[in-house]
Structure 1
Amino acid sequence: MPLFLLVAFQSQAAQPHQPSSLGPINDGEVITVIAPLYSPLTIVTSPKTPRQPVPASDGSDYLKTIPGFSQIRNGGTNGDPVLRGMFGSRLKILTDGSELLGSCPSRMDAPTSYISPESYDLLTITKGPQTVLWGPGSSAGTVRFERERPRFDKPGIKANASVLTGSNGRWDENIDASLGAEQGFLRVMGNKSRSNDYQDGTNNRVPSRWDKWNGDLTLGWTPDSDTLLEITMGRGNGEARYGGRGMDGSQFKRESLGMRVEKSNIGDVLDKLEAQVYYNYANHIMDNITLRSPSSGGMSGHHGMHMAAGMAMQVDRRTIGGRVMGTWRWQDVKLESGVDTQTNTHRNMSRAIWQKDAQFNNYGAFGELSWNASEQSKVIGGARLDRSLVEKFANSKDVERSDTLPSGFARIEHTLAEMPLMLYAGIGYTERFPDYWELFSPTFGPDGGKDPFSRVNSEKTTQIDIGAQYNGTRLSSWVSAYAGRVDDFILFKYDPHNARISQADNVNANIMGAEMGFGYQLSEDWKTDASLAYSWGKNTRDNQPLPQIPPLEARWGLTYEHGDWSSTALWRLVSSQHRVAINEGNAAGKDFAASPGFGVLSANVAYKVNKNLKLSTGLDNILNKAYSEHLNRAGNNDFGYSANTSLNESGRTLWAKVNVSF
């Protein structure tokens, strides 16, 4: 059984927007240390793939293992994903084409908090503003968790189930079962994940426990091989304790409902039509009484409710959206074009009454054209136009603002005829409307006034992306690099004496960085792979670094595979970060100190008992190092942390997993 496989380097990489041409990305039997890549620009993998460190508890936990991604840490789960130092709505997070937006003003429930990776079949990441198909504003990139349609040639059942146990009381259960025939299918997915507080490398307990569950159902009708009508529904809930926040999350209630229609092979030119509508609801409660003993320091957040022994806050958000897209094909040209819309409404509970404070509306039209100019060259370009509106409800008076936002990109991809090398270069431009956290979380505006709502401008990003990929017999390698200019970059500044007081401001910024990696087959049984990721940003208005930029990071893996046995060692090395902007950051975190570098060694072994049963076990942080990530929320004094103390990561962690499929 191949335990670790760098599936990166496919010869089809010149078609980064057609993952179906790859066939199966993997069969769920591989554990990866370096994320599989479809091309340097577009990453395609399966979230069902086991990975190390210990399997992910949510979407952000999975993304942080992919080169270029990092995570704002605040405890054991529900961190906030960061790509190339860019955070929040600069990174579009979608599940089956729909968007679920969290409701906490300080992003305690980031969108990835509601995602269980093993419930999805495919993860596709497009770096930079290099697609316009999936909504507005995704200047850093687009992340899509997707479920593929189960296919049955005859009536039958397909199922995959797993159980994981580990240190600190970690226990996960997952099941994914489909019942179907040629005419349709029923798919049921369920998962539970829980863990106690972990101990760091100095054997100190870090408040980090969680307990969460998700359940989803998909009903599909396939009257023929070219037609699909699909209805999806799901629910979930959980709780999480945070050493880096003034309150914990005692409820993460999720409700999801959607419908999708697809018709393929329609005609000689019009190839496909697809339409979907979706409804996502997040109901979140945070308090400092359910999972901790409250201190006299009060709450950290907004709109709190006083309770007998502490503070609590309840917020929710309803997101309703839809899209219609058609695909047209000519001999060497493909056009994907359509429209999309979304409305999301945010409320908070005050004196047992729900009060609406914000409503966002967006209407967009888009088109993306691919031209196979020759056997070796491909040109891709796209444009979209969005109309964004937001209403603010406060003190019985409504305030509105709106903007029209253009975006577009152009890219050329070329594969050399004389050697297996693909090159690409693209330029993209996107305008991003300020999100809820940027308009409503700050307590005062850039000039000291009380109204960030009307004074924070839309963000404008122009970025060049270049890359290359080499596919040799034994050596495969890739590199992707970028350089950009962000006008009206939205920056948070925090009061150094009171972290609850913040302002949102516009500055101008320059950004650049790169990711690279390679895989090399040393012998029949041995192989090695590695990656490197670096991000850099500068606030050109104030002539200082951008905050919340992750440090240089390298990963190296060495794998032995023979028969049904395999084992791998993973060495993660992270540099120190001294380019900081103290008390500046984003809605979820700020720079409060420079950070030292660290190295972490992990390993695992796996055995495939038969085609239906797989066993694996791993040991993370073998040397029990005490370390903390640079992107980190300061520890909260409820748990005895002094001001601006980073939360350490978990010490030595043992885990084991059993996977059964049929």
Structure 2
Amino acid sequence: MKKKLLASLITAMMSPVIYAQPLPPVEVIGTPDEINQQRLSKETVQSNVSATSDVVEILTESPSVSVNQAGSISGFPVIRGLADVRLDVQLNGMPLLSSCPNHMNTPLSYVSPSQVDSIEVYPSITPVSVGGDSIGGSILVKSDKPFFAPTAEQVTQGEIGAYYRSNGNAKGGNVEVTTANDKISLTYKGNMAQSENMDAASDFKTFTTTTNASSGTYFTSGTEGTTTDKDEIAGTAYESINHSLGIAYKGDDSLFQATFSKQSAPYEQYPNQRMDMTDNDSNKLNLSFDKSMNWGKFNIQAYAEQVDHEMAFMDYKTSKQMPMDTESETKGLKASALIPLSASSELTVGTEIQLFKLDDYWVASPAPLPHMMQPNTFWNINNGTRDRYALFAEWEKELNPQWKTRLGARYEMVNMDADDVHGYNLDYFPTSGSGGAGNQTTDAVAFNNAKHAKTDHNLNLTALANYKDSDTFDIEMGLARQVRSPDLYERYTWSTWPMAAIMNNVVGDGNGYVGDINLNPETAYTVSANFDWHAANQKDWGLQVMPYFTHIEDYIDAVVERDFNDDFKVLRYANQSARIYGVDIAANRKLAENNYGDWSMKAKVNYARGTNLETDDNLYNVMPLNATITLMQAINRWSNAVELILVKEKDEVSEVRNEVKTPAYSLVNVRTSYSWNKLRIDLGVDNLFNHAYDLPTGGAYTGEGNTMSINGIPLMAVPGAGRSVYLGFNMKF
């Protein structure tokens, strides 16, 4: 029976092409209607659902995006060397903020790949109507548009899916159900994802860690009484559950949408942080109203988010803990109007308000932990606020059939403040005194005696243009001045005590960080271009060469605060100047159409170089030269691909952060999918040849060991995952 089934499958794959359904074309990055935009379609997103639980990994399909690995479902997207808070990241129009001293709950950690319809990327330059408070570009992740049934009908539809990945014993599932008539649509989406620690391709450490609550040593991985293996990447386990309920009402010329979403993440471990996330609960409400007027279009959106975030050590379920809690509230309002001025021009004007409040406190650790973490609560950030108020105007004009321009200006006022603080050793907010364990009193007094309130006035200016030379060649050009104010952790973290400082680390390099109240906003001057050669039909072939150059004044880098002449230090955020330049290349080609199917290929190449102009040091966590080449085949109901990833050695590293150098590597991934009616099955193997490698932007491996001591662990890179076989399905109904 098995032999007959195998023979049938081989025959189906090798038989002459019978197009049972339209075959997906190679996705062309970029759209001719939107200047400086790269777009990932739903098909691209959904084809990766079984392979990853992190939306950021799917973003690497864009030629301008890489990823700085952190938690397994909360990596940091990087656009041309700039990451995290330097990017404008929006989830269904909500520009959310991380509420964690390690930025564990990034905006995209709140959405699973199965919930995403499309992704828009604006590399380097963000149009002022899209967003602000960023210097590196924008990422807009969007869910499905609401579905409405034909007039006088009631339609119920949905889908269900599940997957399994061998490395880490990862598994998950998703369900979506929509019921709608011609006016009202109601949708529920849910998903869960869970994984154990992943394994590297080979042993990457010379030690194993046995967790033992009575040892007096603090580990951040594993389960009480267990031992990690030499190839086990401690700190890569996770569990996450997402729910969303949406309702939409369609009028004759209007659309109202309301979505409530909730995430419960019982745990997510981190291989490059000294703590783990032991709980993250968030609730979001997103309301929007669109209406067409006789003078144009009007949109208003209001949103709110509440987050309760906890960190501790995953292996200790006993009294030996160091609990850390963060609570935040975000409220936002966005309004805009699109006004046609003529048949060839339009004006967009709008406003935006975002109010953000955060408390970050670490309750006293019970005995027998050292006295420096007792007897009171340590206030890392007390009533921190970051409120933004923005006004913008953008003019878009088609000068002639060849030239299209987009000019914009955006003003933002950013008000920031925080209340007084104290350490574990004080039960009041001191303004005098000295000493204390780890200089907690001295540092708290210095902070409390300083003026905390800061107001930044930021002006963004953008100029974008598209020139259509012919049916086969276009040029896009951009010039911008973009400004970002510091976040709360960059300005208001205050303790130089190494144990506290290493808990305030958003880049995963193992060092400790201290804020600076007097930081200036970052101001970036960017010039970029996209030389786009393509077939007249935009599908058969294409080549895009995208050079860019950014000069950043008051770049927030780091200087040494306390040096222990060892691997890790305490650093302080400081304004300096920086330069980033590079090029992205994307290509696609239809190769052949024969009895063995449709054959095509795509490729991307990234090169970025970042330098601190004051110290001549390299910027931290910039991806080295890399390339991805994919060969694709589609025949009958089958779609197949072989992917080759090539990464150069990372030898241009940040000295101030003691960044780890990593060797070059190459990986091969293979995947296949079978579609029949409303069923899709995905099968693939990542790292087919089980090649051992280190992550160039994975940071320092702090997933286990005496992590509470700043230099109690060895300096080493986070290894990449070994071979993983995955299988998933999705069925629509």
Q: Same fold (TM over 0.5)?
A: yes
Aligned to 1:303: none
Correspondent of 2:305 among 263, 270, 280:
280
SS, match of residue 232 in structure 1 = strand
Which range is displaced more, 454-463 or 71-80?
Answer: 71-80
1:340 aligned onto 2:355: no
Q: Secondary structure at the match of 1:62?
A: helix
Of 589, 592, 604, which aligns to 2:659?
A: 592
Structure 1 residue 71 displacement after superposition: 2.3
Counterpart in 2 of 1:530? 603
CA distance in 2, matches of 1:482, 1:313: 41
Alignment check: 8 A CA contact 2:647 2:666 kept: yes
How does 1:158-557 map onto structure 2 within 5 Å? 158-167=157-166, 168-202=168-202, 204-207=231-234, 208-224=236-252, 226-238=253-265, 239-264=267-292, 266-267=293-294, 270-288=295-313, 291-293=314-316, 308-329=319-340, 330-351=342-363, 356-395=382-421, 399-417=452-470, 419-441=471-493, 443=495, 452-472=515-535, 474-493=540-559, 495=562, 497=564, 499=568, 501-524=570-593, 525-557=598-630
Q: From the superposition, tell whether residues 350 and 544 of structure 1 become closer, same or farther in structure 2 (CA, over 3 Å).
A: closer
Helix, strand or coil at the partner of 1:523: strand
Equivalent position of 1:7 in the other structure = 27
C-alpha distance in 2 between matches for 1:611 and 1:416: 42
How has the CA–CA distance of structure 1 residues 451 and 522 changed in structure 2, closer, same or farther, with 3 Å as cutoff? closer
Name the counterpart of 2:701: 635
Q: Quick one: structure 1 residues 628 and 195, their matched pair in 2 at CA, closer, same or farther if it must change by over 3 Å?
A: same
Secondary structure of residue in 2 paired with 1:544: coil
Q: Which residue of 1 aligns with 2:690?
A: 624
Name the counterpart of 2:720: 649
Change (3 A) 1:92 1:420: same
Give the corresponding residue for 1:150.
Answer: 147
Residues 164-211 of structure 1, C-alpha deviations (whole Å, 9 max, x = no match): 112021111112221111111001111101111111101611121111
Deviates more, 1:237-246 or 1:567-576: 237-246
Return the structure number with greater strand share: 1
- Aligned equivalents of 2:110 and 2:74: distance in 1? 9
Distance in structure 1 (CA, Å) of the matches to 2:644 and 2:519: 42
Q: Read off the aligned partner of 1:312 and give its amino acid letter.
A: P
Amino acid at match of 1:232: T
Specify the SS of the correspondent of 2:74: coil
* Aligned partners of 2:246 and 2:257 also within 8 Å: yes
Secondary structure of 1:489's partner?
A: strand
CA distance in 1, matches of 2:526, 2:626: 22
Maintained 8 Å contact 2:123/2:136: yes
C-alpha contact 2:165 2:726 (8 A) present in aligned 1: yes
Number of matched pairs? 609
After TM superposition, give the deviation of residue 51 of structure 1 in Å: 4.1
- Are the structure 2 counterparts of residues 635 and 210 from structure 1 closer, same or farther at C-alpha, using a change threshold of 3 Å? same
Cα 1:116–1:496 change in 2 (3 A) is farther
Please state how far the C-alpha of 1:656 moved relative to its aligned partner: 0.6
Give me the whole-angstrom Cα distance separating, in 2, the residues matched to 1:444 and 1:247.
18
Structure 2 residue aligned with 1:59? 55
DSSP-derived class of the 1:286 partner: strand
What CA deviation, in whole Å up to 9, does each residue of 1:433-475 have, x standing for no partner?
1112311346469xxxx98443211111000011122221632
Inter-partner Cα distance in structure 2 for 1:8 and 1:442 = 48
CA contact (8 A) 1:162 1:174 kept: yes
Question: Does the aligned pair in 2 maintain the 1:582–1:593 contact within 8 Å?
Answer: no
Unaligned runs of 5+ in 2: 1-20, 204-230, 365-376, 422-428, 430-447, 498-512, 707-711
Query: 2:628–2:645: 8 Å Cα contact kept in structure 1?
Result: yes
Do structure 1's residue 79 and structure 2's residue 148 form an aligned pair?
no
Listed one character per residue, the Cα deviations across residues 1-31 of structure 1 (whole Å, up to 9, x for unaligned) are 6777432167xx33216xxxxxxxxxxxxxx
Pick from 84, 101, 108 the counterpart of residue 112 of structure 1.
108
Cα distance change of structure 1 residues 200 and 496 upon mapping to structure 2, 3 Å threshold: farther
The 1:515–1:3 alpha-carbon spacing in structure 2 relative to 1, beyond 3 Å, is farther
Distance 2:165 2:158 in 1: 24
Does the 8 Å contact 1:156/1:181 carry over to 2? yes
TM-score using structure 1 length? 0.87
The residue matched to 1:89 in structure 2 has which SS?
A: helix
Q: Distance in 2 between matches of 1:579 and 1:633?
A: 14
C-alpha distance 499-235 of structure 1, shift in aligned 2 (>3 A) = farther
Where does the alignment leave 5 or more consecutive residues of structure 1 unmatched? 18-39, 295-306, 585-590
Tell me which amino acid in the other structure corresponds to 1:343.
Answer: L
Q: 1:46 to 1:506 in 2, by over 3 A?
A: same
1: CA distance, partners of 2:495 / 2:696:
26
Match of 2:673 among 591, 602, 606: 606
Residues 540, 442 of structure 1: alpha-carbon distance in 2 compared, 3 angstrom cutoff: farther
Q: For 1:324 and 1:550, locate their aligned partners in 2 and report how far apart those are by CA, in whole Å.
A: 37
User: How much does 1:480 deviate?
Assistant: 1.6
Quick one: structure 1 residues 637 and 572, their matched pair in 2 at CA, closer, same or farther if it must change by over 3 Å? closer
SS of 2:489's equivalent in the other structure is: helix
- Shift in Å, 1:536: 0.9
Return the alpha-carbon distance in structure 2 between the equivalents of residues 656 and 407 of structure 1.
46
**Bigger Cα Rg:** 2
Do the aligned partners of 2:129 and 2:392 also contact (CA within 8 Å) in 1? yes
Distance (Å, rounded) in 2 between the aligned partners of 1:593 and 1:451: 22
Query: Is contact 1:232-1:259 (8 Å) kept?
Result: yes
What is the percentage of aligned positions where both structures have the same residue?
20
Which residue number in structure 2 is paired with residue 302 of structure 1?
A: none
Cα 1:46/1:443, change in 2 over 3 Å: farther
Output the aligned Cα RMSD. 2.5
**Displacement of 1:642:** 4.7
SS of the aligned residue for 2:114 comes to helix
Distance (Å, rounded) in 2 between the aligned partners of 1:230 and 1:101: 22
- 1:42 aligns with 38
SS of the residue corresponding to residue 416 of structure 1 reads strand
Cα deviation for residue 553 of structure 1 reads 1.1
Q: CA deviation at 1:351?
A: 4.3
Whole-angstrom distance in 2 between the partners of 1:393 and 1:443: 15
State how far apart, in whole Å, the 1-side matches of 2:621 and 2:22 are: 37
1:493/1:3 Cα in 2 relative to 1: closer, same or farther (>3 Å)? farther
